[in-house]
Structure 1
Amino acid sequence: MDSLTQRLKALSSAEDFLQFFGVPYDERTVQVNRLHILKRFYQYLHKAEGLAGLDDVELFRRYRELLVQAHQDFVTSTAAREKVFKVFQDADGTQHVQLSSLRESLAERRAARAAG
């Protein structure tokens, strides 16, 4: 019999993980937040203590609990509020571009077009 770890390696999408663990999920939430859910699941796994000594059955149970929690985070919140990825952590998810930078870029494009 394959170990739990081996079976998990075959999974690739959030839907695959949710189905494998038998977690009921909101399709719309997963469609919009699939990468966020997987990243949060990984974060929960990384912080979880006491997983190393568990057998596959107990490990499956704990992984399932953490996946349920990761999914639920995005049912009750948004990606911008949860800030799983760096883009949302930096400057609260906003980007700042200097007006002078835009002017320079526009001038360079105009010059390139005139030369070309």
Structure 2
Amino acid sequence: MTDDEFDLDLSELSSAEDFLDYFAIAYEPAVVQVNRLHILQRFHDYLEQVDEMPDSTQARWALHADLLKAAYQDFLASNAATEKVFRVFRMNEPRSVAVPLSDLTKQVPHAPPV
């Protein structure tokens, strides 16, 4: 397999199941069904942490396979709320903001004075 073929293969994969099948990783469909986006995001995050991709296509394939397997395994014994892959899970409680009414009325030319 060439680098171009590997890149083309990757570009054609669209679901978590496609990725897991392509990299020959055994998986439980129920785990993937519930966590597919989280697994793919974690896989992406792991790829982002790689300083330098290997030169050979086989080594790149093996690295991708290892990182995808690690991402999948993160969700075997855990869940999305615990793993906090997406930003929404890491956000703090909503914050309340106070804006004085006088500041708002200054922006409206015909507003009655407060």
Matched, 1:4 2:6: yes
Name structure 1 gaps, 5 residues minimum: 99-116
Please report the TM-score for the alignment, with normalisation by the length of structure 1.
0.75
Q: What's the counterpart of residue 67 of structure 2? A: 66
- Distance in structure 2 (CA, Å) of the matches to 1:54 and 1:28: 35
- Distance in structure 1 (CA, Å) of the matches to 2:16 and 2:95: 34
Q: How does 1:3-42 map to 2 (within 5 A)?
A: 3-42=5-44
Name structure 2 gaps, 5 residues minimum: 97-114
Q: What's the counterpart of residue 101 of structure 1? A: none
- Distance in structure 1 (CA, Å) of the matches to 2:22 and 2:74: 19
- Distance in structure 2 (CA, Å) of the matches to 1:54 and 1:25: 28
Greater fraction of residues in helix: 1
Count of residue pairs brought into register by the alignment: 94
Contact 1:14 1:34 in 2 (8 A): yes
Q: CA deviation at 1:26?
A: 1.1
- Distance in structure 2 (CA, Å) of the matches to 1:75 and 1:12: 21
**Structure 2 letter corresponding to 1:18:** L
- Distance in structure 1 (CA, Å) of the matches to 2:90 and 2:37: 16
Q: CA deviation at 1:50?
A: 2.7
- Distance in structure 2 (CA, Å) of the matches to 1:46 and 1:17: 17
Matched, 1:83 2:84: yes
Q: What's the counterpart of residue 102 of structure 1? A: none
